A and B are shown apart, each in its own frame.
Chain A
Amino acid sequence: MKRSVVLLVVAYSRAARGSLRNVCRTHEESVVRRFGRVALLSETAFAAFQALRLRAKHGSDIQIERTEPFNEFEVLDEEVRVAAEAYENRETPSLPYATFAARNDHPDPDELREREL
């Protein structure tokens, strides 16, 4: 099974974006997905090599991050998942979440902002 961990490469200049596009075209096998000036590369040393080449060429115009898969069942309390589901199924579309949460005993948005994953 393909691992969902990937390298995230973001270009911050036209030149860097052009190079990123070229790398993605040349090494399709290393590209999980590309959106404009952002690419998700597979978690291989070869993909990292390509990302580092881009950084060597464009310096800080290339940002490289490593992303972790998001598992809401692992990193979140159930009440947050339930609240998201419930709020998207609310009957009054104009109802702000804060009010909705207070009425239906869902977590308060300010409290959620403080809570880390």
Chain B
Amino acid sequence: MSGQQSSATDDERDGSTGHPQTESSRGPVVVRTPDGALSGRALDVRGRTGADIDAERLVAAVRCGRDDSEDDTERAGAVDRSVGVACPDPGPAHEHVGLVESGMALRVRTALAAGARSRGLSAPQDEALASVRAELADLTVPEVDAAAARERLAGTESAVAAGRERVATIRGRIQAARDAGRETEDLREELRAAARELSEIETERAAAREALERAERRAREARDARERRRRLEDRAANLARAARSHLVDAVREEYATAVAAVPGPDRGSDPHTIESPFDADPVSAALAVGRVAQLRAPVVLAVDRFASADAAADWLDAPVVRV
């Protein structure tokens, strides 16, 4: 299927560059199931193959089939042989509202900002953000692990203590032998050996201390780089937040209108009593974001808000697969 399918999709995508509003929202969607293939802008796959199609699998197929090359189609098929989807690339908003199901979680502002981007809007912070991110990507932070040096030193510290104890014990025994008038030559030989050993361990400890000091010095220098990276990360996060809030502001009114227009009997809150459209229940918020956004890949819909897949596709102005 991939050969013909992909060329059709490519044509469609080429067209969509010229007329995003009309073409892309009408991109061909083909859902392949064991029963056969369904194609169109509003599909209802309920009852097609029973338990074989669930929302998660389907949305995964939509997202991983993002490239129409043969290779990727194969790979998409490998994920789940029973469902395959050919459709235009999911844009930035699809990640957030490409699957609408009850009990979903949604970061509304993040999703709405992605929705604004899907329509080609940008934020004044984008350039600065890209440059900070590029700087972050270029920044190398040396990894310094002083654990080996600490472990080595800890081992020599206890060995020195044991060696000292041993020397002291032998000295005590020599003293006792002397007091008792016994021969001490063997003990003194033992003492010399113990003293030699102790001196070796002490040398090793000095080397271990030096090695740890060097490792700690390197770690301190590396922390300067880490500190710089963290400041860049903070700056990137601040810019991303500002960009998001700019994008949200740009479509706020439209989103509020969409929230008020979301249909469906199982709405969590009455639109007239909600203080802010951002407090809408996640399903309503996701649908409203979907209406504001430009969605090219199909929205997988697992809620009863619309009379039909067609009604949903019209309301969202996006391809829909009802599961």
A residues adjacent to B (C-beta < 8 A): 12-14, 17, 37, 59-61, 63
> Is B188 at the interface (CB under 8 A from chain A)?
no
Taking CB atoms, residues of chain B closer than 8 Å to A17 are: 230
Cα distance, A26 to B139, chains bound together (Å):
33
A72–B219 alpha-carbon span in the complex (Å): 29
- Most chain B beta carbons < 10 A, residue from A12, A13, A17, A63: A12
Q: Is B161 an interface residue (CB 8 A)?
A: no
Binding stretch for chain A, among B38-46, B94-102, B220-228: B220-228
Flag whether B237 is at the interface (Cβ < 8 A).
Answer: yes
Interface flags, B137-149, vs A, CB<8A=1, else 0: 0000101110000
Q: Is the interface of B mostly helix, strand, loop or mixed?
A: helix
Chain A residues touching B, majority SS:
helix
What 9 A-B pairs are tightest by C-beta distance, nearest first?
A: A12-B226, A14-B233, A13-B230, A60-B143, A12-B230, A60-B144, A12-B223, A61-B226, A12-B227
B66 contacts chain A at the CB level, 8 A cutoff: no
Contact B230 A14 (CB under 8 A): yes
Nearest A residue to B141, CB-CB = A60
Tell whether, in the assembled complex, residue B143 and residue A59 are in contact, meaning their CB atoms are under 8 Å apart. yes
For A11, give the chain B residue with the smallest CB separation: B230
**In the complex, which residue of chain A has the Cβ closest to the Cβ of B234?**
A14
Interface size range on B against A: 10 to 19
CA of A45 to CA of B102, assembled, Å: 45
Is A60 a contact of B233 with CB atoms below 8 Å? no
Kindly state the separation between the CA atoms of A43 and B103 in the bound complex, as whole angstroms.
43
User: How far does the alpha carbon of A14 sit from the alpha carbon of B222 in the complex, in Å?
Assistant: 16
Query: How far apart are the CA atoms of A60 and B218 in the complex, in Å?
Result: 11
* Cβ contacts under 8 Å, B143 to chain A: 59-60
* B144, A13: Cβ atoms closer than 8 Å: no
Interface on B for A, CB 8 Å cutoff? 141, 143-145, 219, 222-223, 226-227, 229-230, 233-234, 237
* Cα distance, A59 to B143, chains bound together (Å): 8
How far, in angstroms, from A51 to B141 measured CA to CA in the complex?
Answer: 21
Q: How far is the CA of A59 from the CA of B234 in the complex (A)?
A: 19
- On chain B, the residues within 8 Å of A60 by CB distance are 141, 143-145, 219, 222-223, 226
Closest Cβ–Cβ distance, residue A76 to chain B (whole Å): 24
Given contacts A12-B230, A60-B143, 7 further A-B contacts (CB under 8 A): A12-B229, A14-B233, A14-B237, A59-B145, A60-B219, A60-B226, A63-B219
A16 vs B98: C-alpha distance in the bound complex, in angstroms? 31
Query: For B219, what are the chain A residues with a Cβ–Cβ distance below 8 Å?
Result: 60, 63
| Chain B proximity of A98: nearest CB distance (Å) | 28
CA distance A13 to B141 in the complex (A): 11
Residue contact A13 to B233, C-beta cutoff 8 Å: yes
Determine the chain A residues whose CB is within 8 A of the CB of B237 once the complex forms. Answer: 14
CA distance A78 to B278 in the complex (A): 63
A13 and B143 CA atoms in complex are apart in Å by 13
B-side contacts of A61, CB under 8 Å: 226
Instruction: Report the nearest B residue to A17, measured CB to CB.
Output: B230
For B144, the closest partner residue in chain A by CB is A60
B229-A63 in contact (CB<8A): no
Determine how close the nearest CB of chain B comes to the CB of A37; give it in whole angstroms. Answer: 8
Give CA–CA (A61, B237) in the complex, Å. 18
17 pairs, CB–CB < 8 Å, chain A vs chain B:
A12-B223, A12-B229, A13-B226, A13-B229, A14-B230, A14-B233, A14-B234, A14-B237, A17-B230, A37-B230, A60-B141, A60-B144, A60-B145, A60-B219, A60-B223, A61-B226, A63-B223
Residues of chain A with a CB closer than 8 A to B145's CB: 59-60
Question: Which residue on chain B has the smallest CB distance to residue A63?
Answer: B223
Chain B residue nearest to A37 in the complex (CB): B230
* Residue in chain B with minimal CB distance to A14: B233
Give Cα distance in the complex from A14 to B145, angstroms.
20
Distance from B322 Cβ to chain A, minimum over Cβ atoms (Å): 39
Which residues of chain B have C-beta atoms less than 8 A from A12's C-beta?
223, 226-227, 229-230
